[in-house]
Structure 1
Amino acid sequence: MARTISQIQDEIKTAIQARSELADLTSTSKSAVWLAMTYAIAVVVLTVESLFDLHKSEVENTLSLLKPHTQRWYREKAKLFQYGYSLITDSDLYDNSNLTDQQVEDSKIIKYCAVNEAVDESRLIIKIATASSTGDLEPIGPTELIAFKSYMNEVKDAGLTITVTNYLPDILFLDMIIFYDPLIFNGSGETLLGGTKPVEIAIDKFLRQLPFNGVLQLNLLAETLRMIEGVEIPHIVKASSCWINPSIGGYGDPVTIDVYKIPESGYFKVNDFSQIKYQAYEKSV
């Protein structure tokens, strides 16, 4: 960005003062020749820097028009959406000059986003979620969704079809047998000291730490549970999940997960741990 004439002139003066052979240039009179020369040079430098700024802007604008946008670009654009604010005319940018940093941050309601190409047709699927006050992932509201879709239609490439997925979490069902050390746990999965339920806590934490739209791998979940003190064998008998089906307006029937699963909504949640059974592990002597 081009500097001001005063900034450029001050740098020239500083350079002059550092040269012993120019020590006699001390006059501060407005008519001093050496000051007039520094001003003239500053004007020339400003002109050159302004031309470079203009050239850079023209090149960036040309590239933005010619370069095909990637999935990463769409993901970042989605997260830059500012609820309640309009874009600059004929632009995909916001004018935040009159907003504080906190106002800008508060308006960016899309906290999680993943972009994929649909295999059956030429369109992009954009999965989004926001964060609740407790940090839980959740969909944005209906009015917010309308505004977000309008924003994406403004910034997307012409002719591209976009499908926005803004679902409640996929519900994960876990039918498990936890073989436990009776010196650590009781038959309800509670620790003898403290009365907490480490298995349920660990499952919730594991799902929270999955990347948005990340892969749930059952073997990694089992390994995580095996790390808990007192858990001898975490046996996953069956795992399944269900998600919002737009055609029926609600959750569909659970579908078995054999090895891994990418959540349709982008994230999982366990509503019920009742299918997790606890059985004392009988160690051989």
Structure 2
Amino acid sequence: MTIAEIKAIMTGSYIADETIRQKYNLQDGKSFEDQFSTVSPENIIFYVVATCMILPFQVFEQFMIDLLALLRNNKTHTPRWYATRAKEFQFGYELAGDTDQYDNDGLTPEQIEVSQIVKFAAGVEADDQSILFVKVARSVNGEKQPLTDVQYAAFYAYIMRIKDAGVRITIVNTQGDDLKLNFDIYYDPLILDSEGKRLDGTNDTPIQDAIRGYISNLSFNGLYTNQALIDALQVVQGVEIADLKQAASRHGNYTEFTPIVARSVPYAGYYKITDNNLVLNMIPNE
């Protein structure tokens, strides 16, 4: 709700009051703005009150959004619940007694944050609901990476401790799926050169940056689409047509690349792309 909407509710009730209508000789069918000047005391008062009311309204609205998200994420024993609990794992700390919670008395918020090494997590059920996949990753210099062997061993023990009896869980803790892309880029020769560098010297890799930016900004275990990637390139200055010739992915170095038809969700929960798997055929659009 906006200030104008709050003010409209108040002024609507105001001019509907019979005493007010008689005192101001208000006319049917006309709004508050039609009958009161913008500099009138009445208009100023209503505006000030509406402005004062908007802040607590927005705070309450955000509170409801946060509360609903908290309830949704902590609805027990759902895939989303497992993802939430995965991010609550604290490396190097033991659970309190026979519970599935940590006793953080005496720890600072900074210590807790550092110990919570799982920064990305998703719970995904197999199609036949026989297995729950818990996908995880940590953040290293802003990039998604799998947990180390030592970290994984501790995390595995934690999940086995807190999981429901009888639930079969497979933890996915691997390098990101490899992405292979091949583009024909029709470019403006007034902006870019034949290698994709900006002629003004401000950026040597604007196209590569846009591709990697799209990939890194995908939500964990989020949906990749060829069209969204093309859209990300179309806004790069100097790129006039981005024609995707090939998009393929693979999980693990010993599997074959599989073509991506329109969209895909990475097995590892995230993608990575190397220079060898990114081909840009630069074509001047003259």
TM over 0.5, yes or no?
yes
SS of 1:157's equivalent in the other structure is coil
Please say if residues 187 and 282 of structure 2, whose CA atoms lie closer than 8 Å, have aligned partners that are also in contact: yes
> Following the alignment from structure 2 to structure 1, what is the Cα–Cα distance between the partners of residues 167 and 278?
45
> Following the alignment from structure 1 to structure 2, what is the Cα–Cα distance between the partners of residues 251 and 114?
24
1:128 counterpart letter in structure 2: V
Shift of 1:118: 0.9
Structure 2 equivalent of residue 142 of structure 1: 149
Shift of 1:121: 4.8
What pairs up with 1:26-175 in 2 under 5 angstroms?
69-132=77-140, 134-175=141-182
SS of 1:85's equivalent in the other structure is coil
Shift of 1:168: 0.3
Cα displacement string for residues 243-264 of structure 1 (whole angstroms, at most 9, x for unaligned residues): 12xxxxx441111111011011
Please say if residues 87 and 120 of structure 2, whose CA atoms lie closer than 8 Å, have aligned partners that are also in contact: yes
SS of 2:214's equivalent in the other structure is helix
SS of 2:211's equivalent in the other structure is helix
> Following the alignment from structure 2 to structure 1, what is the Cα–Cα distance between the partners of residues 101 and 122?
21
2:188 counterpart letter in structure 1: D
1:136 counterpart letter in structure 2: E
> Following the alignment from structure 1 to structure 2, what is the Cα–Cα distance between the partners of residues 274 and 203?
9
SS of 1:236's equivalent in the other structure is strand
The 1:137–1:148 alpha-carbon spacing in structure 2 relative to 1, beyond 3 Å, is same
1:269 to 268, 272, 276: 272
SS of 2:123's equivalent in the other structure is strand
Is 1:234 the counterpart of 2:242? The answer is yes
> Following the alignment from structure 2 to structure 1, what is the Cα–Cα distance between the partners of residues 158 and 111?
18
Cα displacement string for residues 157-184 of structure 1 (whole angstroms, at most 9, x for unaligned residues): 0111100000101111111110000101
The 1:274–1:204 alpha-carbon spacing in structure 2 relative to 1, beyond 3 Å, is closer
> Following the alignment from structure 1 to structure 2, what is the Cα–Cα distance between the partners of residues 68 and 215?
25
Is 1:225 the counterpart of 2:233? The answer is yes
SS of 1:110's equivalent in the other structure is coil
SS of 2:209's equivalent in the other structure is helix
Shift of 1:201: 0.5
Shift of 1:215: 0.7
Shift of 1:87: 0.5
Please say if residues 248 and 259 of structure 2, whose CA atoms lie closer than 8 Å, have aligned partners that are also in contact: yes
Cα displacement string for residues 94-131 of structure 1 (whole angstroms, at most 9, x for unaligned residues): 11112222111111000000101011452210000000
1:275 counterpart letter in structure 2: V
> Following the alignment from structure 1 to structure 2, what is the Cα–Cα distance between the partners of residues 121 and 106?
34
SS of 1:178's equivalent in the other structure is strand
1:253 counterpart letter in structure 2: E
Cα displacement string for residues 224-250 of structure 1 (whole angstroms, at most 9, x for unaligned residues): 101111111000001101112xxxxx4
Please say if residues 180 and 278 of structure 2, whose CA atoms lie closer than 8 Å, have aligned partners that are also in contact: no
Structure 1 equivalent of residue 8 of structure 2: none
Shift of 1:197: 1.6
Structure 2 equivalent of residue 253 of structure 1: 256
Cα displacement string for residues 117-148 of structure 1 (whole angstroms, at most 9, x for unaligned residues): 0114522100000000x210100101111111
SS of 1:275's equivalent in the other structure is strand
> Following the alignment from structure 2 to structure 1, what is the Cα–Cα distance between the partners of residues 86 and 117?
10
Runs in 1 of length 4+ with deviation above 6 angstroms? none
> Following the alignment from structure 2 to structure 1, what is the Cα–Cα distance between the partners of residues 259 and 159?
34
Structure 1 equivalent of residue 283 of structure 2: 279
